Amino acid sequence: MSQAQKSIKKSKPQTTVANAKPRVASYQNYINGEWVKASGGETFENLNPADTREVVGRFAASTEDDVNRAVEAAVDARDKWRKTPAPRRAELLFKVGEILMRNKDALAREMTREMGKVLKETGGDVQEAIDCTYYTAGEGRRLHGFTTPAEMPNKFAMCVRQPVGVCGLVTPWNFPMAIPSWKMIPALICGNTLVIKPAEDTPLSTINLVKACVEAGIPKGVVNVVTGAGATGAALVGHRDTRLISFTGSTETGRKVASVCADRNAICSLEMGGKNVQIVMDDANIDLAIEGALWGAFGTAGQRCTATSRIVVHKKIYKQFAAKFVERANALRVGDGLKDSTDVGPVINQNAVNKIIGYIEIGKREDKAKLACGGEQLTTGEHQHGFFIQPTVFTDVAPSMRIAQEEIFGPVTALIPCDSLDNAVEIANGVRYGLSASIFTKDVNQAFAAMNELYTGIVYINAPTIGAEVHLPFGGTKATGNGHREAGTQVLDIFTEWKSVYVDYSNKLQRAQIDTENL
Ligand code: UN1
């Protein structure tokens, strides 16, 4: 997703409604154990992308002062939290999981109102936060280090994890509770304190997660949230007292985050763009591959880092696949995510509409590709006040075309013919990103060959490119990341630093690498 897209509100010319509007809820920052207004007193509105006449809430437009105060609170709380035994920290986090579980339906509804995706998916988003919380809290009784033999007699060697300190977390709008949980919960179990800056389009779900932390009894100053636009995030990223910055968003913004962190020697973990591929071989279960591609391409209206934006299909079945896939894509119902009948919700804001429609125009102009279905913004009737785009399929796309290379982050996918597994893998790997890839085949040899050759962080066999589970590492190669992995136990390597400890109980000076000769 582009930086502009992430930093701009769901702004749309407001229609004047004659009737009195319902009272709009106000939300504040949470700093040092208190809910507080932004120091400048400014607020911004969070609009429902399915109907921008609805204001979901007013939120604090935080200044650099607010960020400074939040970081200061996290610094003050650092030692006490670090010294709280990890199993005790875990008990509080298990409570967070229980609170989320109890409120799952209400949290999902609020998320659909601010983010747009259908209720089933926002339920999944909350569930992912619950899963992450329970799984990661379990680490409170592990957080394993290791022991290893020392090269000298009467000497003991071991390695333990230590917290990094204050963490600054900057999160996107497409998974407004799951992604914050991927960062907050591991940071906390490892003994760090934190300040989170959620996306301006979806602050409510992150505030809901913070509320669960407050209700669970996490001590003041340990978790802080500041809402606001890109500048608020920039103040956090640049703050010299944040030892670590964890960012999920566009590759362009991520690169800037990385260079700010490099300047001040901060630890930096990045999750960025994707251009994910589903390969369909000629022996695949075609109906299953179509189901997978529909879910991968149009779930969350294509607004996932893991969305299937390329479908590489063996030429022997290409025509058959394309015809059925287009027919099914055409039949998807686009609308308000709160309605049971909706398959695909709105996109996040006007900027997203502009970007996605811009790519559709590029696709239409590209020589060979055909617009097989969709291609339009829906602007009348029930779609009048929201940001709705038809599920869009381009067929006969060449791998080098821009719509096959660049991240669109919307309900648009490209069908690309291939003539062999090698050809499919070459196309799959021929983009700057490397997050998720999938292959549909019944041939175990082809499946394993693809598994080995696809240069991505995630590979699925006979399943779509979306749907990662929290106990496996999540992240990607190339322009998708900077080598870190969230989720799984691997995330602990982001939020802790290793400390190697040598205990010499020989009662004499033993020099490593030197006094080993006569042993
Ligand atoms: C993202 O889009 O940034 O694997 C995260 C999936 C989800 C997470 C996506 N569990 O699609």
Is residue 519's pLDDT more than 50?
yes
From atom 3 of ligand 1, which residue's Cα is the shortest distance away? Answer: 305
* Segment 61-88 mean pLDDT: 98
Is residue 7's pLDDT more than 70?
no
Residue 466 C-alpha to ligand 1 middle, in angstroms? 6
Angle between helices 421-429 and 444-453 (to 10 degrees): 30
State which ligand 1 atom lies nearest to the alpha carbon of 271. 3
**Contact 306 CB / ligand 1 (< 6 Å):** yes
Q: Are 463 and 441 a contacting pair, CB within 8 Å? A: no
| pLDDT value of position 10 | 64
One CATH from 3.40.605.10, 3.40.50.2000, 1.10.260.40, 3.40.47.10 for 64-272+484-498: 3.40.605.10
- Mark out the alpha helices in 29-177 (DSSP H runs): 64-83, 86-102, 104-115, 119-137
Residue 467 C-alpha to ligand 1 middle, in angstroms? 6
Q: Which two tokens stand for residue 503?
A: 């205990």
DSSP three-state, residue 60: strand
Q: Which two tokens stand for residue 2?
A: 């582009």
Q: What is this structure's pTM?
A: 0.95
Domain ranges for the chain, please list them.
64-272+484-498, 276-461
Question: Phi, psi (5° rounding) for residue 272?
Answer: -130, -145
**Contact 301 CB / ligand 1 (< 6 Å):** no
**Contact 467 CB / ligand 1 (< 6 Å):** yes
Compute the distance between CA of residue 380 and CA of residue 373 in angstroms, rounded to an integer.
19
From atom 11 of ligand 1, which residue's Cα is the shortest distance away? Answer: 466
Residue to mutate, 1, 474, 480, ligand 1, most ligand atoms under 8 Å from C-beta: 474
Residue 186 C-alpha to ligand 1 middle, in angstroms? 17
Question: pLDDT digit string (tens) for 251-289?
Answer: 999 999 999 999 999 999 999 999 999 999 999 999 999
* Segment 25-39 mean pLDDT: 98
**What 8-state DSSP symbol labels residue 180?**
H
**Contact 174 CB / ligand 1 (< 6 Å):** yes
| pLDDT value of position 20 | 57
Question: Element (H or E) spanning 211, and its range?
Answer: helix 203-216
State which ligand 1 atom lies nearest to the alpha carbon of 178. 8
Question: Phi, psi (5° rounding) for residue 518?
Answer: -95, 15
Sign of CA dihedral 408, 411, 412, 417: positive
| pLDDT value of position 368 | 84
Compute the distance between CA of residue 514 and CA of residue 152 in angstroms, rounded to an integer.
10
Confidence band, pLDDT 50/70/90 cuts, at residue 13: very low
The catalytic residue positions are 271, 305
One CATH from 3.40.190.10, 3.40.50.2300, 3.40.309.10, 3.40.50.970 for 276-461: 3.40.309.10
State which ligand 1 atom lies nearest to the alpha carbon of 299. 11
Confidence band, pLDDT 50/70/90 cuts, at residue 100: very high
Residue 24 C-alpha to ligand 1 middle, in angstroms? 31
Is residue 5's pLDDT more than 60?
no
